[in-house]
Amino acid sequence: MKKKNIRKWGFRLTVGAVLLTVAAMVARNVFYGAAIDEEQSIFITSDTSYPALCNQIEDAMGKSGVKCAAFRVYAERLNLDERFRVGHYRLPKGASVVRIVRMLALGEQSPVRLVVGEARTLPQLAGKIARQIEADSCALLRTMYDREVRRSLGYVRDSLIAMFVPNTYEVYWSISPKQLLDRMKREYDAFWNANRTEKLAHTGLSRYEAITLASIVYEETKNREEMPRIAGVYINRLRKGMPLQACPTVKYAMQRFDLKRVLHTHLKYRSPYNTYINRGLPPAPICVPSIAAIDAVLNYERSEYLYFCARPEFDGRHNFARTLREHNANSRKYSEQLRRKNIK
């Protein structure tokens, strides 16, 4: 009788041990197995509540009951409701519940690609940047216009738009406006390497003036081959004390970027940006110029040209002239084509 009981208890212990082992394996698989079938990205804002965060994660896990339950258990164990951080998180394919919770608790966010590109004004630039990071355009502009921030960056009287070098940068989505400006200043300083600084000295311009001139060149043409020649024309005019007479500065002064044709009445528009009535460069860049335009200024073409005019072929290129007489002849040909095509 006793032997039979011993065998019975032995059997029960064996079965129990097997069941415990199986349960442990199942539990481990639930917590450490793949919880994400395909790579997912989630964004946690400063307004995201903990329940909203849980909903995002559960959506990413396909609303699997077992996985979602495991997430909530482990999240509670690590006090995730008090520890999760703002940011962009990329949940890789095959990520486990444990990996996801730890990632959120430690703030292991993934960077985003920030494109700094074409913009004519700081508000426009702030709007484009705000669509790529958490900070909104109002917060960005407040920081851009903050006197102490500008002083720390060396732009007390100058426009910060000159500090933005167009490129694609990797930043954290949660980057603050001040952190962003500090990053852009570091990129700007790195852009002005020894080679560019040496070439800048030959232009007689400061960095800020070179960026300002490059913005005019960029608005005049997108043709990279012509940029150095156009830059050379403007540098010639600056050295002779002639007004630049750049039509893009008139459009900027009037904030009429849609103008297809700048007329004589427009040339009289009173503004420090109008280079028809003011000598020298405008007080600030009229856009974020491309790197090609900046390098065109640094590598400007040395010539005797003082004028240029769009070609009547409307091919995006220009006719250049050394004398006003030559220029007026080119202008008449272009104006005749405008009339023929009824472009006003």
Is residue 308 assigned to a domain?
Answer: no
Q: Return phi, psi of residue 90, to 5°.
A: -100, 115
Q: Tell me which of 75, 106, 137 is where a domain ends.
A: 106
Closest CA to 75 of 94, 50, 93, 92: 50
Three-point CA angle 149, 118, 196, nearest 5°: 70
Q: Are 115 and 180 in contact (CB under 8 A)?
A: no
Amino acid at 103: M
Tell me: the pLDDT tens digits for 18-56?
334 434 444 455 666 677 888 888 899 988 999 998 898
Residues 185 and 90 in one domain: no
pLDDT of 6 reads 52
Query: What total number of domains does the chain contain?
Result: 3
Output the pLDDT for position 18.
Answer: 37
Q: What is the domain extent for residue 95?
A: 2-106
Q: What is the pLDDT of residues 125-169, one digit of tens each?
A: 999 999 999 999 999 999 999 999 999 999 987 889 999 999 999
Asked if residue 286 belongs to a domain, the reply is: yes
| Whether 160 and 245 share a structural domain | no
Model pLDDT, residue 5 = 55
pLDDT below 50 — which residues of the chain?
11-27
The verdict on 92 and 136 lying in the same domain is: no
Residue 314 included in any domain: no
Q: Which of 151, 173, 189 is the last residue of a domain?
A: 189
pLDDT at 161: 95
What pLDDT score does 11 carry? 43
* Residues 182 and 278 both lie in one domain: no
Partner residues linked to 170 by β-bridges: 113
Per-residue model confidence (pLDDT) at position 258: 86
CA distance linking residue 113 with residue 167, whole number of Å: 10
Same domain, 141 and 238: no
In a domain, 316, yes or no: no
